[in-house]
Structure 1
Amino acid sequence: MSATAKKRTPLPEDIIARKGGAPIVSLTCYTTPMAQIMDAHVDFVLVGDSVGMVLHGLASTIEVTMDMMILHGKAVARGLSSTMMVVDMPFGTYEESPQTAFRNAARLMQETGAGAVKLEGGVGMAETIRFLVQRGIPVMAHIGLTPQSINTLGGYKVQGRGETADALVADARAVAEAGAFSVVLEKVPAALADRITAEVAIPTIGIGASAGCDGQILVVDDMLGLFTAFKAKFVKRFATLGADAEAAIADYARAVTAREFPGPEHIFADAVPGETR
């Protein structure tokens, strides 16, 4: 492919075809500029409901609304030209019934241009996943630690240890059989993640799971060091942009206070023919 050639935007079927192949690369994203940066490097972008915590300062994902997801979905879509976008369904928009889930998923796809939606839950959500898929809505599932359920899970705890491992395997099998094209495994013991990856026919996307998963995802603000309110064990900082930004802002404040900025090169003369900026 030439440097100027545009790759075809992947479809859910392309993600399924990657099962057992080259690892699937994905990141969570919320803004146009960040989407533009990652577009050429990832297989899909997830507009995650973690936006509530990362960008809006909320205590959890439970407070995130449909309008927020649509707003950020539209923003991310404007920054993508060759990458599939998946959008999280926020808490309370799909649990009531398959019919409710369909109406909200259809709205998400229509208003954002998403290629798929993601929802949390295993066996209990299988009927809903099947209902959506049968009506043309591709679904990415999410099991293990499901952040929208932290109030019933007792916090952000590792899931699937001990006697609960078989239940998590059953969740994975249920969402795969219902038609999900992939499943996120969050905060799951590595051996269990490897077992699930081996036993289900759809790709597993790990976040705090195992390097043996079919793919990996992180929140981009976490891995770049922009979001530092807390750091999960599974996050690797690939950069420290938050610290860099703080240092730059401190330098800016110093320069303004010292009247070093703006300098002659940053200000305008009374009239310069043809000057526009």
Structure 2
Amino acid sequence: MSATAKKRAPLPEDILARKGGEPIVSLTCYTTPMAEIMDEHVDFVLVGDSVGMVLHGLKSTVEVTMEMMILHGKAVARGLSSAMLVVDMPFGSYEESPEQAFRNAAHIMRETGAGAVKLEGGTQMAQTIRFLVDRGIPVMAHVGLTPQSINTLGGYKVQGRGDAGDALMADAQAVAEAGAFSVVLEKVPESLADKVTAEVPIPTIGIGASAGCDGQILVLDDMLGLFTAFKAKFVKRFANLGEDAGAAIADYARAVKAREFPGPEHVFGDAAPGAKK
């Protein structure tokens, strides 16, 4: 491979093979420019249904539609060449039956070129995961805090504390046995995340879980400081681009009002450059 050649995008089986190895790096993204920036640094990019809250101002992920996921899935796909694309299945697109899940998962993959889909739920979704995997749909599972279920979970609460830890472990084991190639652990106690990681045979992808997970994921807009409406303990701001953008916009407004912008270098003369007088 030449120095300028790009690595091929990993397949679900490549992610599975990383169990217990080098940590898996992933981010959630919704647009082509951001996908291009992160492509060489991450193993997979998730087009999350958090797009509804982050980019569309919705109150929760429950309001997100298939059309929105496909639109943003296509956008992110255009920016990737060396990272795998995973797309969330939105609320209501897979819970009714395995057959419904297959139709919608196949539609998402066909329209976006995604390498896999992600769906929420543990033991109750194991049959659906097996149905999809048996029909050629790679599935990333998601247990712990499942945002599409906040109305029944009572909000964005830590999951798996105390006696509830056994149920969460059962969820992780069920999705692994059903054929999921990895599982997101969201907002679970660190010790439980470590135990799940040690006992399930598929990679765990932590978000508010443990550094001991097989990989990590954050929402890009959260970690860059672009989206600050949802303040979670597990989010580390690796930059404060929202503040930088606010300052830049304020400076632009000042320059316009002062007639400092546009300057001579930003406007056009009557004659074309190089034209004879």
Please tell me the TM-score bracket, short chain as reference: over 0.9
- Structure 2 Cα separation of the partners of residues 261 and 193 of structure 1: 53
1:155-186 Cα shifts (integer Å, max 9, x gaps): 00000000100000000000000000000000
Q: Which residue of 1 aligns with 2:59?
A: 59
Following TM superposition, where does structure 1 have runs of at least 4 consecutive aligned residues deviating by more than 6 angstroms? none
Q: Give the alignment's TM-score, normalised by structure 1.
A: 0.98
Three-state SS of the structure 2 residue aligned to 1:5 is: coil
- Shift of residue 150, structure 1, vs aligned partner: 0.0
Three-state SS of the structure 1 residue aligned to 2:130 is: helix
Task: Please state if 1:157 is matched with 2:157.
Answer: yes
In the TM superposition, what are the counterparts of 1:195-214 in structure 2 within 5 Å?
195-214=195-214
In the TM superposition, what are the counterparts of 1:77-226 in structure 2 within 5 Å?
77-226=77-226
Three-state SS of the structure 1 residue aligned to 2:175 is: helix
- Structure 1 Cα separation of the partners of residues 162 and 274 of structure 2: 72
- Structure 2 Cα separation of the partners of residues 124 and 24 of structure 1: 27
- Shift of residue 104, structure 1, vs aligned partner: 0.2
Task: Please state if 1:49 is matched with 2:49.
Answer: yes
- Aligned residue pairs total 275
1:207-247 Cα shifts (integer Å, max 9, x gaps): 00000000000000000000011220000000000000000
Q: Which residue of 1 aligns with 2:238?
A: 238
- Shift of residue 9, structure 1, vs aligned partner: 1.0
- Shift of residue 273, structure 1, vs aligned partner: 5.0
- Shift of residue 136, structure 1, vs aligned partner: 0.1
- Shift of residue 8, structure 1, vs aligned partner: 1.3
In the TM superposition, what are the counterparts of 1:34-45 in structure 2 within 5 Å?
34-45=34-45
Q: Give the alignment's TM-score, normalised by structure 2.
A: 0.98
Three-state SS of the structure 1 residue aligned to 2:259 is: coil
Task: Please state if 1:252 is matched with 2:252.
Answer: yes
Could you tell me which amino acid in structure 2 is paired with residue 191 of structure 1? S
**Aligned-residue CA RMSD (Å):** 1.0
- Shift of residue 110, structure 1, vs aligned partner: 0.2
- Structure 1 Cα separation of the partners of residues 103 and 128 of structure 2: 12
- Structure 1 Cα separation of the partners of residues 5 and 252 of structure 2: 40
- Structure 2 Cα separation of the partners of residues 271 and 143 of structure 1: 65
Could you tell me which amino acid in structure 2 is paired with residue 269 of structure 1? G
CA spacing shift, 1:134–1:270, aligned 2, 3 Å: same
Structure 1 vs Structure 2: percent identity of aligned residues?
85
Q: Which residue of 1 aligns with 2:10?
A: 10
1:116-151 Cα shifts (integer Å, max 9, x gaps): 000000000000000000000000000000000000
In the TM superposition, what are the counterparts of 1:61-76 in structure 2 within 5 Å?
61-76=61-76
Could you tell me which amino acid in structure 1 is paired with residue 114 of structure 2? A
1:65-91 Cα shifts (integer Å, max 9, x gaps): 000000000000000011100000000
- Structure 1 Cα separation of the partners of residues 63 and 271 of structure 2: 51
List alignment gaps of at least 5 residues for structure 1: none
Q: Which residue of 2 aligns with 1:24?
A: 24
- Shift of residue 272, structure 1, vs aligned partner: 1.2
Three-state SS of the structure 2 residue aligned to 1:231 is: coil
- Structure 2 Cα separation of the partners of residues 101 and 251 of structure 1: 49
- Structure 2 Cα separation of the partners of residues 88 and 56 of structure 1: 16
- Structure 1 Cα separation of the partners of residues 130 and 62 of structure 2: 24
